Each structure stands twice: as C-alpha cells, then as structure tokens.
Amino acid sequence: MSLQQIAVIGAGTMGNGIAHVFAQSGFKVNLVDVNAGQLEKALQTIGKNLDRQVSKGTLTEGQKSIALANITTHTDMAVGVQNAQLVVEAATENTDLKLKIFRQLDEAAPAGCILATNTSSISITKIAAVTKRADKVIGMHFMNPVPVMKLVEIINGYATDKSVTDTIVALSTQLGKVPCVVNDYPGFIANRILMPMINEAIYSLYEGVAGVESIDTVMKLGMAHPMGPLQLADFIGLDVCLSILHVLHDGFGNPKYAPCPLLTNMVTAGYLGAKSGEGFYKYTPGSKEAVVSRRFA
C-alpha cells in the first residue's frame, strides 16, 4: 500500500516531531490540534529544528522549504483526516481522551485508512476495540526527540492485520527509522524495561543506598547510558513515569511494578521534573544546566 497523505493528531512534543519526519520524507501532512496556539508553536519548533539540520549540513535550504510546504494545520479533526491514508494520533496520554478520538477518527477517516497511535502505555487492543476497524489499528511509538531517535516500536493489537504491520514497518524504514515489532502487553517493550529500572533507581535513593549523582553516574559510566535514570525520569516527566508504572502494576498484577512511594510523593507535590522546574534536579529556564535538587543534596 503506497501512502502519501498523513494526518497527525496532536501538535505537542511528539506530534510536531512526527509531522517533521513525515514532511521531510516527502509526505503531505495535515497536523491537527484542538489548540490553534499549539499548532503555531509546533510550526515554529519544526522550522527551528529544520534550520538546525541546515546549519549542520544534513539538509539543504530547498529541502527545508519543501518540508515546511508539506505541512498544513487544522483545528477541525474531521477536515484534517478526510483524505488521509494513515492517521498517527499523538494527543495527550489519557485513556478516555484517546478512546473518544478513535471513535471520531473511525467516523471521519476514509474506510481504508490505517489508524496508528503513538501512546506510550495505553493498550492498542483497547483503543482498537472502540472502532469498527480493529484490524487497521496499530501502535507506532516514536521516541523523543522524534527527528533524532532512530527507533519506532510498532505494536500489534490483538486484531491488527499482518498487512497493516508490514505497511507500517516499511513506512518506518522509509522515514529513516529502525522498526521493532512487539505485541500488545502492558508497557510494550520500551517502557516495560525502562520504567522498572527508573523505579529501582528511585527506590535506591529512597532507601539511602546512594545519592542522586552517584546513582546517575554509576549508570552513565558503568553501563554506558547517555543519561542517568533519575535525570531521564525528570525529562520524561515524573507524572508520566508514575502513570506508566500504574499501567504495569494494574496490567500484570505483580507487586514488583509498585511505584516507589517517593515518586508518588513528588508527583503529588507537583515536582514533575524538567517541565515543572524541579524533580531530582533543579532546572533554570533557558539553561541546559541541572543541579541536584536541594531536597536530595
């Protein structure tokens, strides 16, 4: 199946990156968000990120202009998806919201259109079940930042048709990414392995085994991780980490996934990591520098 017209739902962190990589690879992209200001911001971010590629010499000015011209923005989802062959949904991570969006997409998108979701943790099978085309619903989980990260985790729902998986695998390769196909169980692969590691790092801090910097340094220098687990948790968002751990805990019913009480406390208190200015580290707006939060110093 040859795809040309893509719709991306949600123009936040992930949606703008997904629109960027499709547009740069020559696809026509309708970028949809309920918030017009967010669409404006997304176009600015994509422009800046393309500029960075031009200054690095990995893209020409002409290619940048073509990529930008490939993107059209919409606040009306029904209009944005009316001629789409593939929809990639990247709206806020909330189960009720995603189920509502997929019911609407099923009504508004053409019959043959594949409906993909970039969800980090919500069951693909559950999302597919609210549509009349469960065979055409699939997970297409890009990593952040999308233009840089190579992996696309492709998640087969219980009813996903093999031809749909094959199409999304080929498409991911066409985008210059490396696809990995997995099945639909809580956390898929990426978060099933990452989140227990982050949770264990938080438990190590909570139990006083070591401080923030020591834990992160052990994992950076000892395991060649580019970023320590506590700093990575701050960047993902501690609320997001907590909600994925709840998905794992509820989904498997295994106490090994129980979130560390320190993580729960930090989220309750509004210490969400980089986006709120403080988590395990403290962040200064406009600066890339992070210092250990005085609560853990």
Active-site residues, by number, are 120, 141, 153, 191
Measured CA to CA in angstroms, residue 148 lies from 53, 95, 130, 176, 181 at distances of 10, 27, 33, 10, 20
Helix, strand, or coil (residue 118): coil
Closest CB 227 distance from ligand NAD, rounded Å:
13
| 95 contacts ligand NAD (rule: CB under 6 A) | no
Given candidates 3, 7, 24, 38, which one binds ligand NAD under the rule CB under 6 A?
38
Per-residue interface string for the shown chain with ligand NAD, residues 236-255, x marking contact by CB under 6 A = x-------------------
Give yes or no for a contact between 234 and 273, defined as CB atoms under 8 angstroms apart: yes
* HSE-CB of 26 using CA atoms within 13 angstroms: 7
Closest CB 78 distance from ligand NAD, rounded Å:
11
Given candidates 4, 35, 44, 254, which one binds ligand NAD under the rule CB under 6 A?
35
Nearer to ligand NAD, 42 or 290 (CB): 42
Task: Give the span between the Cα atoms of 187 and 268, in whole angstroms.
Answer: 23
Task: Give the span between the Cα atoms of 255 and 148, in whole angstroms.
Answer: 35
Tokens 């995603």 correspond to what residue?
98
| 147 contacts ligand NAD (rule: CB under 6 A) | no
Given candidates 3, 8, 14, 181, which one binds ligand NAD under the rule CB under 6 A?
14
Task: Give the span between the Cα atoms of 218 and 112, in whole angstroms.
Answer: 50
Closest CB 42 distance from ligand NAD, rounded Å:
8
How big is the site for ligand NAD, counted in residues (CB under 6 A)?
A: 25
Nearer to ligand NAD, 115 or 236 (CB): 236
**What string of DSSP letters covers 232-249?**
HHHHH-HHHHHHHHHHHH
Closest CB 181 distance from ligand NAD, rounded Å:
17
Closest CB 61 distance from ligand NAD, rounded Å:
28
Task: Give the span between the Cα atoms of 96 and 94, in whole angstroms.
Answer: 6
| Contacts with ligand NAD, residue ranges (CB under 6 A) | 9-15, 32-35, 38, 77, 90-93, 97, 101, 118-120, 141, 144, 236
